[in-house]
């Protein structure tokens, strides 16, 4: 028995070199297979590392939105799943599709010599047949015709301040428009006048933004700027980015053939290659969203009547508004988009608020200098919407006081919700089209942060 064991041991020892060679060969084959698989995966983008890198590249903006209480991923998810669909339906309702505006104004700062070169600059005003009865009074004798050659009907240039029960006319300390000047006001159907490329370019258009930034917005890059001044700049920059995004998303590609489409090169050159502009867009979106959610009780309780023929639509408007401001997903994921309580502190607080109010009123007044009628329409609406957000967040202190002391004009609410929709559209377009635009127009490099003029 012992001899047999010794023989077996000797036999195993004789076979060990062969086993060792086979084992080394097997390891070499496995190693080669792993290496080949890694190479193939790298080529086709299937490795975990490559996928993560690509995901990170796709999700270029991660983490918290600066000065806000919500991160980029959450904002994009909420906007796609909740906010954008609701807002798209809301702005199409009779209450929100009409905006009261003074289109013909003298520029208080310089002669209005800006002329746009496209017929799309013209605003087609509301035909009488579609205008809600509660909005109406006697029509003007004028019967203007849109520059596009399509008769859009006579325009009601008067204002019925009692169109909605419980809605008051009150001054907004953040804006300059006097909406009580009934004789010069016009109702415009926003659905017939989309914000898009109009051909308003050149020195006249540049002068508008130059005046806004150089004369009224503190230099964002300056370390001496306080938090409140930086926020004013970021709001204007975010609005500027949103306007540019809408121009790029609905651009006249061929004027001779009247072909419209997306201009992703413009989107990249004017917005995407400057990270601050994208960040400021998200900031402005969350800032306005905070104002809307803060005014939840007021907006839910408001009347949205537009006439006996629109009862179902008006009920839908009220329902959509309640869904928007009370959505549980938004409350859970982003309960406080922006914390306004941290501003206007210290001894300089009241003085600083007056200073920035004056600067924003100047920006509001500059809208009267816009040489393109349709650009002026959307500029006035969005500045009024932003001014309304500022009014909600900073004019009334505390949630309890807000419910009892907040007073909004119908036009302010219309501007506020249309602005939120514009920003929502811009955030969605940037989120979805950034990878494509950067592949088409980008060179992998971005411009450093800088002041915008």
Q: Among the options 68, 116, 121, 372, which is catalytic?
A: 372
Catalytic annotation present for 334? no
Contact (CB, 8 A) for 108 and 368? yes
For residue 85, what are the CA distances in angstroms to 90, 230, 287, 428?
9, 31, 19, 11
Q: Which tokens go with 419?
A: 């602005």
* Distance of alpha carbon 10 from alpha carbon 296, whole angstroms: 89
104 is in an annotated binding site: no
Q: Among the options 70, 124, 126, 375, which is catalytic?
A: 375
237 is in an annotated binding site: yes
Beta carbons within 10 angstroms of residue 313's beta carbon = 16
Residue 254: beta bridge partners?
259
Catalytic annotation present for 375? yes
* Distance of alpha carbon 147 from alpha carbon 120, whole angstroms: 8
DSSP string, 108-161: SSS-------SGGGSPPPPPGGGS-GGG--SPPS-----TTS-----------T
C-alpha angle 257/258/260, rounded to 5°?
A: 125
Contact (CB, 8 A) for 248 and 273? no
* Distance of alpha carbon 33 from alpha carbon 31, whole angstroms: 5
Beta carbons within 10 angstroms of residue 444's beta carbon = 6
To which residue do tokens 């001899």 refer?
Answer: 3
196 is in an annotated binding site: yes
* Distance of alpha carbon 159 from alpha carbon 98, whole angstroms: 12
Beta carbons within 10 angstroms of residue 373's beta carbon = 18
Coil, strand, or helix at residue 273? Answer: coil
* Distance of alpha carbon 364 from alpha carbon 358, whole angstroms: 10
270 is in an annotated binding site: yes
Q: What are phi and psi of 260, to 5 degrees?
A: -115, 150
Contact (CB, 8 A) for 419 and 191? no
Longest dimension (CA), the chain: 126
E-assigned strands of 143-204?
A: 186-189
Q: Residues annotated in the binding site for FAD, as ranges?
A: 196, 198, 209, 237, 240, 270
Q: Residues annotated in the binding site, as ranges?
A: 196, 198, 209, 237, 240, 270
Question: Which are the catalytic amino acids?
Answer: 372, 375
């Amino acid at each position: 028995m012992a001899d047999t064991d010794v023989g077996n041991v000797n036999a195993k020892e004789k076979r060990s070199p062969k086993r060792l060679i086979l084992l080394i060969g097997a390891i070499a084959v496995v190693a080669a297979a792993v290496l080949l698989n890694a190479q193939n995966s790298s080529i086709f983008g299937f490795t975990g590392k490559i996928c993560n890198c690509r995901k990170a590249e796709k999700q270029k903006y991660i983490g918290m939105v600066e000065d806000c209480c919500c991160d980029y991923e959450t904002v994009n998810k909420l906007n796609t799943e909740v906010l954008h669909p609701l807002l798209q339906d809301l702005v199409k309702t009779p209450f929100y599709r009409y905006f009261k505006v003074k289109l013909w104004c003298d520029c208080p700062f310089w002669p209005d010599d800006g002329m746009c070169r496209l017929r799309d600059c013209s605003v087609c005003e509301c035909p009488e047949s579609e205008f809600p009865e509660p909005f109406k009074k006697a029509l003007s004798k004028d019967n203007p015709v849109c520059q596009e050659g399509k008769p859009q009907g006579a325009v009601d240039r008067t204002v019925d301040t009692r169109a909605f029960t419980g809605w008051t006319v009150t001054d907004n300390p953040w804006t300059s428009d006097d909406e009580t000047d009934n004789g010069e006001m016009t109702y415009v159907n926003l659905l017939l006048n989309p914000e898009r490329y109009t051909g308003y370019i050149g020195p006249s258009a540049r002068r508008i933004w130059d005046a806004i930034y150089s004369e009224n917005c503190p230099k964002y890059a300056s370390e001496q700027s306080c938090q409140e001044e930086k926020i004013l700049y970021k709001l204007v920059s975010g609005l500027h980015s949103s306007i540019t995004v809408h121009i790029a998303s609905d651009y006249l590609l061929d004027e001779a053939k009247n072909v419209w489409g997306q201009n992703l090169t413009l989107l990249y050159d004017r917005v995407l290659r400057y990270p601050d502009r994208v960040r400021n867009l998200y900031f402005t979106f969350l800032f306005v969203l905070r104002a809307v959610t803060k005014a939840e009780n007021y907006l839910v309780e408001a009347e949205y009547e537009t006439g006996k023929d629109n009862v179902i639509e008006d009920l839908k408007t009220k329902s959509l508004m309640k869904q928007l401001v009370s959505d549980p997903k938004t409350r859970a994921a982003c309960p406080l988009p922006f914390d306004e309580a941290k501003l206007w502190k210290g001894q300089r607080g009241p003085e600083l608020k007056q200073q920035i109010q004056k600067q924003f009123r100047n920006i509001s007044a500059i809208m009267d200098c816009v040489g393109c009628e349709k650009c002026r329409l959307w500029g006035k609406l969005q500045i009024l919407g932003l001014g309304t957000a500022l009014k909600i967040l900073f004019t009334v202190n505390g949630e309890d006081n807000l419910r009892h002391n907040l007073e909004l004009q119908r036009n302010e609410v219309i501007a506020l919700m249309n602005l939120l929709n514009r920003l929502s559209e811009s955030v969605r377009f940037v989120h979805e089209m950034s990878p494509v635009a950067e592949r088409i127009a980008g060179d992998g490099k971005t411009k450093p942060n800088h002041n915008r003029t």
